[in-house]
Structure 1
Amino acid sequence: MITELEFKSLSAQGYNRIPLMVEAFADLETPLSLYLKLAHSKDGGKYSFLLESVVGGERFGRYSFIGLPARTLLRASGFGAEARTEVVTDGVVVETAEGNPLDFIEAYQKRFKVALRPGLPRFCGGLAGYFGYDAVRYIEKKLEATCPPDTLGCPDIMLLQCEELAVIDNLSGKLYLIVYADPNRPEAYSNAKRRLRELRDQLKYSVAAPQVKASAPHPAERSFAKVDYLKAVERAKELIAGGDFMQVQVGQRISKRYTESPLSLYRALRSMNPSPYMFFYNLGDFHVVAASPEILVRQETMGDGQQKVTIRPLAGTRPRGASPELDKAAEVELINDPKERAEHVMLIDLARNDIGRIAKIGTVKVTEAFAVERYSHVMHIVSNVEGTLLDGMTAIDVLKATFPAGTLTGAPKVHAMELIDQLEPIKRGLYGGACGYISYAGDMDVAITIRTGVIKNQMLHVQAAAGVVADSVPELEWKETEAKARALLRAAELVEEGLE
């Protein structure tokens, strides 16, 4: 931990956010147990989060992140003249800004001059939360007026200002507790030290997971009657055949009553469907539970000071086989399917185009192509596209260039989104947007909000889409959406069965 003299020196240099950090051993803990001790114990963890990762479906990523209950959050909603962003501190709206929320968020970040410590993971404080799919209407103005009805009622953007967090190093078994101090506040250094002592003391407490009692299963409802979904696919196929589109993603929402703890759903999901991006957000009025396999975009500072941007398009799907032999047969069929290959090539091109808008000339590369990744219920084709970011670009610039993912829209991208507004009966909300963080250092890592459940008013909402192309079979596209939603629905069933 820095000394008070060092703290005052940093304050004199103009820093208005200074992190204090202590280390502790956590080799006998899990990220979930630490979340329960540090975040969930206060007010049920309102405005807190847990971020985890499983690499290649086999091992946990090096770091897990726990955002302790945030005092300040940003939330945005409305489009066009009605767009506004609110800054909420301790439950009170302290600032309201009219205009484009993305521009406000970019300006808000610049208010903070942060004394970053070398050697820390790329996320050690900043903004964490989500950009809903419909935030694209802040980027593409022609989409402002075509938004379908909103039946969910969540903000279009919600970001927690993370100034107390725990970073778990899953390799070394160490835990880093970090508290940011504002030197302009009285007793800032001593208050931050005291807070760190409190957090260390909380590590000594024993905790229990939320109790789960077996309950009767609840039926699911769909935003689309199956016959109407099939008609929407047929309409998309007609327009594709006419040359208007190459592909269109047509999705549906599945909803069912869910009365148990949202954290229990996350426990079930992370056990049965470990994924590269697993996250649990308690956002007060609602919760977000996810095991997303797909990055939207990652922006990270490299050793030479340059910033690398990565998109990892994931498209082409088959259900998992019931045996190793059937699973391998499904992989061979998937990788050799002309429709799936053509769709995936198109999405690689979209990723190259998106990165090309913000990358230095000659740096955009496909570093991996047509790999197959497996998850609990499905397998996918995946590729990797990278580029070196142009000097002066911010995380919001990167987001504007890449959002939303082409794998959730189709191509041409904006034209496909216009058609989605016509074909899908309800506003997408969080689905198809991005969830993750923008750090104080300027790095960003956001996953596509798929394989994601939103729990609000004791209802679980899960959404999934399928990519429609010229030779799509409508019945198979319907089945693909059902397969993609299955992991979350099965996780809910496990909770209803008592997690036994």
Structure 2
Amino acid sequence: MSLNAPFSEVPNGKSVHIRQSKASSSSKIIMGIRHSTRPHFGVQFHPESVATSYGRQIFKNFREMTEDHWERVKASFVRGKSGNFAENMQVANTNHLLRQVSVRDKKPWMNSSTDNLSCFVDADEKDPLWVASKDNMIMRKKSLRLRWRKLDQFAANVGGADKIFRDIFTQYGYENTFWLDSASTEKGRARFSFMGAKGGPLWKQLTFRLSNKSNAGHKVGGNLLIEDTNDCTSCTFLEDGFFDFMNKELQSFHCEERDYSGLPFDFFGGYVGYIGYSLKLECGAASNNHNSKAPDACFFFVDNILVIDHLNEDVYLLSLHDQDTEETSWLDETEQKLLNLKVHPLLERKTLTKKPALRTTPGVGLHADKSRDQYKKDVEKCLKYIKDGESYELCLTTQLRKDVGKMDSLGLYLHLRENNPAPYAAWFNFSSENLCICCTSPERFLQLDRNGILEAKPIKGTIARGATKEADQQLKLQLQYSEKDQAENLMIVDLLRNDLGRVCEPGSVHVPKLMEVESYATVHTMVSTVRGQKRLDVSGIECVQAAFPGGSMTGAPKIRSMELLDSLEGCSRGIYSGSIGFFSINQTFDLNIVIRTIVIHEGEASVGAGGAIVALSNPDDEYEEMRLKTQALAKAMAQFDEM
């Protein structure tokens, strides 16, 4: 953010260096500050400059100033004029004090209903994921039990994940089905796939829509529709918003650790679904100018789950039930169905799922909401905002659409995953909303595991694959050493370090992998990894609120960038730029960034795409990058349309 405080407000004792603004000779911007008596210095710069010669010079200057200061202190100590030499200083461990302050002080990203609670850690501190509050301690928790079975090295013997999903969950249609699909498992990017459907006694669907009046005040609310396994529905207005509701829901469950400790994954029951981009309103965003046609959040509570371990080809069957129930019928029936499966020769994709004859616009490609010229003008506006100091990076997006009528969306997804597999892919059908999601995302937004480790894997920087091995390697190196892409990636890494720092133990946030290039079927991408240890007084939902929407889809600084983008883009992003994944009943979660995704809602297919605009951006190049990110999806739709 820009330091544009009036010069008159600078406290006494500060020496200020001022740089004239090019926009106005009368405008003065603080670029550097120094205390007149203490060794305190400040400079206005953004982390992407660290990757340039100017960044190196800043650090060199700081090092020299530090060395010079301690040389003078040492000389003073030797002369007997000071007893405060660094070797005699003892620095207390501040982690405990910082934790006390963070618990006591109001968290700006928390909902008002929890702002004034004095949180505390349960006596059993060995569980880093347990969160308690005065209200929650007296809340009656719903005790659940988990039963599960394992079929060793079974998946490959019956034709793989797609055959298991079709034969077990879509034999009579694919209404209300889900599949968190690790279709690409290269280099340990992902390992497990989770799938299921409506049917268990605890199953229910949550459908949330923000109130049209959400912009009017500071408090965000919306309407929640709940449908249970017997098709009974209820509707309520959530005054404190969706995240507050989910936080209370997840804290109301209790399952004995011994029931799931033997599982190599963290999701064994809970909520699966998506968080739409508009829920940024519950995470500090100042505006939401466009209402989403699709619900702002949709989740299934799933109690029966089939899990595939792609590393070992093991299949797990899990059933969550009330503590007093001994029901095992789903486990028995599903295990028998799996054992009855036979390996069939690979059929043509069009015979795997039969497409309805009714097609409204066959052969017509995706139509962009904005023309090339309009998109380039938006890029130029972003560049002006950046030049004026309003933002450092703006992740500009647009939508492409096509009328598809009664498309076989599952058939499209199966075709898409075959040609463009991704580690954080997903399929969802919410039949009551006439909504299907075909997601092939390569990007993890945020994960919390049972050890309390938070991990984000932002992507910034994309280039097409080459036609030959030599050309492909050259393009990969071009991306790796691109100054512009490095700047984009580094800014988002810094943003996520800040987001995670708000909910992690002080000093625990680190970057084990910075700007690594990963290769997929059609593109190379630049990926970084940010990790931290979650604080004990923070819930999983609160971690999501601290970082949502993912910084790779907003820009930096996040709040102001979202406000600027809201004024530029002209329509709601909807599900695109949000997150798909799970929230387990033990408060672990794993969420992706919704990119490379086809959303089919009310007979219309939409694809969101865009790119990060920085000072080095070129409008023509940005338009081509946006189109590149849609090519695999557009090609898959065209091929499927011709089947």
TM-score by length of structure 1 reads 0.89
Query: Do the aligned residues in 1 keep the contact of 2:221 with 2:242 (CA within 8 Å)?
Result: no
Cα 1:315/1:249, change in 2 over 3 Å: same
State the structure with bigger RCO (CA 8 A, min sep 6), 1 or 2. Answer: 1
Distance 1:26 1:275 in 2: 19
Aligned match for 2:430, one of 283, 288, 309: 283
Query: AA paired with 1:268?
Result: H
1:126-179: CA deviation from partner (whole Å, max 9, x where unpaired): 111000111111122522xx32254xx211111110101111223333322122
Any residues of structure 2 matched to 1:50-449 within 5 Å, and which?
A: 50-54=179-183, 57=186, 61-69=190-198, 71-79=203-211, 80=214, 83-90=222-229, 91-99=231-239, 100-115=241-256, 116-120=259-263, 121-140=265-284, 142-143=286-287, 146-150=288-292, 153-183=293-323, 188-189=325-326, 192-203=327-338, 204=340, 209-212=352-355, 216-258=362-404, 259-284=406-431, 285-302=434-451, 307-449=452-594
1:368-410: CA deviation from partner (whole Å, max 9, x where unpaired): 1121111222211111111111113211111011111111011
User: What displacement does 1:41 show?
Assistant: 2.3
1:40 aligns with 2:170: yes
Query: Do the aligned residues in 1 keep the contact of 2:553 with 2:577 (CA within 8 Å)?
Result: yes
Distance 2:383 2:176 in 1: 43
| Equivalent in the alignment of 1:21 | 148
Residue 181 of structure 1 aligns to a residue in which SS?
A: strand
1:106-135: CA deviation from partner (whole Å, max 9, x where unpaired): 111222222342211211111110001111
1 or 2, which has the higher strand percentage? 1
User: What displacement does 1:425 show?
Assistant: 1.2
Structure 1 gap ranges (5+): 1-12
User: What displacement does 1:445 show?
Assistant: 0.5
User: What displacement does 1:344 show?
Assistant: 1.4
User: What displacement does 1:364 show?
Assistant: 1.0
User: What displacement does 1:336 show?
Assistant: 1.9
Distance 1:172 1:132 in 2: 34
Distance 1:250 1:476 in 2: 13
Cα 1:238/1:83, change in 2 over 3 Å: same
Distance 2:382 2:445 in 1: 25
| Equivalent in the alignment of 1:10 | none
User: What displacement does 1:202 show?
Assistant: 2.9
User: What displacement does 1:59 show?
Assistant: 7.6
Distance 2:479 2:189 in 1: 27
Distance 1:334 1:172 in 2: 33
Query: Do the aligned residues in 2 keep the contact of 1:57 with 1:275 (CA within 8 Å)?
Result: no
User: What displacement does 1:240 show?
Assistant: 0.7
User: What displacement does 1:411 show?
Assistant: 0.9
Query: AA paired with 1:412?
Result: P
Distance 1:172 1:310 in 2: 24
Residue 159 of structure 1 aligns to a residue in which SS?
A: strand
Distance 1:316 1:168 in 2: 31
Query: Do the aligned residues in 1 keep the contact of 2:223 with 2:235 (CA within 8 Å)?
Result: no
Query: AA paired with 1:279?
Result: A
Cα 1:104/1:470, change in 2 over 3 Å: same
Query: Do the aligned residues in 1 keep the contact of 2:480 with 2:526 (CA within 8 Å)?
Result: yes
User: What displacement does 1:60 show?
Assistant: 8.3
Query: AA paired with 2:381?
Result: R
User: What displacement does 1:56 show?
Assistant: 6.1
Distance 1:343 1:61 in 2: 25
- The percentage of aligned residue pairs carrying the same residue is 28
1:198-230: CA deviation from partner (whole Å, max 9, x where unpaired): 222333267972025998412322121222111
TM-score by length of structure 2 reads 0.70
1:48-94: CA deviation from partner (whole Å, max 9, x where unpaired): 21122255647884322112226301121114265122322133323
Distance 2:626 2:382 in 1: 16
Residue 461 of structure 1 aligns to a residue in which SS?
A: strand
Distance 1:201 1:403 in 2: 42
Cα 1:134/1:309, change in 2 over 3 Å: same
Distance 1:476 1:74 in 2: 41
Cα 1:60/1:365, change in 2 over 3 Å: closer
| Equivalent in the alignment of 1:454 | 599
Distance 2:570 2:234 in 1: 35
1:3-24: CA deviation from partner (whole Å, max 9, x where unpaired): xxxxxxxxxx986321222333
User: What displacement does 1:241 show?
Assistant: 0.8
Structure 2 gap ranges (5+): 1-139, 215-219, 345-350
Query: Do the aligned residues in 1 keep the contact of 2:580 with 2:593 (CA within 8 Å)?
Result: yes
Query: Do the aligned residues in 1 keep the contact of 2:193 with 2:309 (CA within 8 Å)?
Result: yes
C-alpha RMSD of matched pairs (Å): 2.2
Distance 2:191 2:483 in 1: 37
Query: AA paired with 2:640?
Result: V
Residue 447 of structure 2 aligns to a residue in which SS?
A: strand
Cα 1:76/1:323, change in 2 over 3 Å: same
Query: AA paired with 1:270?
Result: R
Query: AA paired with 1:295?
Result: R
Distance 2:298 2:616 in 1: 39
Residue 246 of structure 2 aligns to a residue in which SS?
A: helix
User: What displacement does 1:337 show?
Assistant: 1.9
Between the two proteins, the alignment pairs up a number of residues equal to 472
User: What displacement does 1:247 show?
Assistant: 0.9
Distance 2:557 2:194 in 1: 36
| Equivalent in the alignment of 1:4 | none
Query: AA paired with 2:370?
Result: F
Query: AA paired with 1:266?
Result: Y
1:330-379: CA deviation from partner (whole Å, max 9, x where unpaired): 12222222211111111111111111111111111110112111122221
Distance 1:170 1:295 in 2: 18
